Chains A and B, each alone.
Chain A
Amino acid sequence: EPEVTQTPSHQVTQMGQEVILRCVPISNHLYFYWYRQILGQKVEFLVSFYNNEISEKSEIFDDQFSVERPDGSNFTLKIRSTKLEDSAMYFCASRADRDHYGYTFGSGTRLTVV
């Protein structure tokens, strides 16, 4: 079964450093998302991406965050200057088309900011 692949599975970074979280969505999917889940809390929407541009973003997705689909297969989330409160699981997700809203989530990247 096709999978959404995320790397790394765990990243530890120092506060103030930049991190890039990587995702390879399912190949024929058109819509891409990033979510995060702080330990013990809800899964929260960050951003959606379609046709090479952001289609929606949440209040969490401020100027410190950016997304990119540099080569038609990878989908990245960059955090420019990490804060302690950015520590969370980050999930990438993708879906095929407008009529199928059920996402496939990747296995996640656990980001720990120290």
Chain B
Amino acid sequence: QKEVEQNSGPLSVPEGAIASLNCTYSDRVSQSFFWYRQYSGKSPELIMSIYSNGDKEDGRFTAQLNKASQYVSLLIRDSQPSDSATYLCAVNNNQGGKLIFGQGTELSVKP
């Protein structure tokens, strides 16, 4: 069974701190990796994609991929209360584009 695993949290950080979210995946042929943000009762919103090993930065967000360790992470710098949401890790391993989602990590940023 191809799985994507995340700590469900909640992860609580103070405003202005760095939030670190982690994800592991089991299928070594996985090709594309995504972080989605989901507010309660809303749909997932794509915030980062990463396809090759290393870091990718976009504003306050940095995604890190280590294919050898089958590990993806998301760092959120200068966390804001509006960042409080559930963060979903998703993995694609075929041309058809099907995404396999993790359970999500609930992040709470305290003012």
Contact = CB atoms under 8 A, between A and B. Distances in A.
Chains A and B belong together in one complex: yes
Interface of A: 31, 33, 35, 41-45, 48, 50, 55-56, 89, 91, 95, 98, 101-108
Interface centre among B45, B90, B98 (most CB of A within 10 A): B98
15 contacts: A35-B99, A41-B103, A42-B102, A43-B44, A45-B100, A48-B96, A48-B97, A56-B94, A56-B96, A91-B44, A102-B49, A105-B45, A107-B42, A108-B42, A108-B43
B17 interface: no
Interface of B: 31-32, 34, 42-46, 49, 88, 90, 92, 94-104
A50 B95 CA distance: 11
Contact of A42 (B31, B92, B96, B103): B103
A37 to B, nearest CB: 9
Interface centre among A55, A103, A104 (most CB of B within 10 A): A103
Contacts of B102: 42
B34 A101 contact: yes
A42 to B, nearest CB: 5
Contacts of A105: 43-45
B43 A31 contact: no
A35 B88 CA distance: 14
B49 to A, nearest CB: 5
A88 B32 CA distance: 27
Given A31-B97, A101-B97, A43 B88 contact: yes
Contacts of A108: 42-43
A33 B97 contact: yes
B97 A44 contact: no
A45 B102 CA distance: 12
